[in-house]
Amino acid sequence: MHNFTDHLNEINRQYHDYNKLYLCLDKTGQLIQISYTNNELVEVPLTGWINMEQVGTYLQNYQRMFCMDPNRLDCFFDMNKATAIVPISWLRLTRKRQKGIVNGFIYMRQAYQGIMPRRKPISIRPSEEEKGLFDIIDGNSTYFVAKQIGIKSLPVNCSASLY
């Protein structure tokens, strides 16, 4: 059950359409039902009662269909020769807008799925407060979304000096 919970947490982190998946164990401890919380915060079953093997298969298929792979920067971002890839830990938010973050999730998903053009690299400047780090000029919501879905490095516009 622990492996399923870890996999479910990974899916919930990557999917981010605010509908979280849950596992419910039956009274015998043999069968599991996969449910989600809808926009009205009501828990709705996605499956009937299924055995452990079926749960693993269902979660793998669900992740393949609905989740974004945090290692596929090329699916999210339009990168060229003027783009550098830097660890997300080098970057610092300069603002955080809830509406921007909500839109960021939508735009990142649509770019990943090829529905809209890929996102441009974020713009940065050397931090005046923390040596060796960079403040985000444009792309704060993209940074926040990327961090939430598990992206470890981000493309940045190289017009800013990295060193």
- pLDDT tens profile 109-132: 889 889 999 999 999 999 999 999
How far apart CA 131 and CA 49 sit, in angstroms, is 54
List the end-to-end C-alpha distance of the chain, in Å, as a whole number: 47
**Residue 61 sits in the same domain as residue 20:** yes
**Residue 25 sits in the same domain as residue 85:** no
CA max distance for the chain: 61
Single out the residue in 66, 84, 100 at which a domain terminates: 66
Confidence band, pLDDT 50/70/90 cuts, at residue 67: confident
The pLDDT tens digits for 15-52 are 655 568 888 889 998 899 988 887 777 888 989 999 98
Residues 107, 153: contact at Cβ < 8 Å?
A: no
Nearest to 73 by CA among 38, 43, 99, 108: 108
- Average pLDDT over every residue of 54-83: 85
**Residue 14 sits in the same domain as residue 86:** no
Residues 31, 160: contact at Cβ < 8 Å?
A: no
- Scan for tokens 């492996």, then name that residue: 3
DSSP state of 121: P
- Average pLDDT over every residue of 140-158: 90
Full residue range of the structural domain in which residue 128 is found: 73-157
Nearest to 55 by CA among 28, 38, 37, 30: 30
Q: Mean of the per-residue pLDDT values for the chain?
A: 86
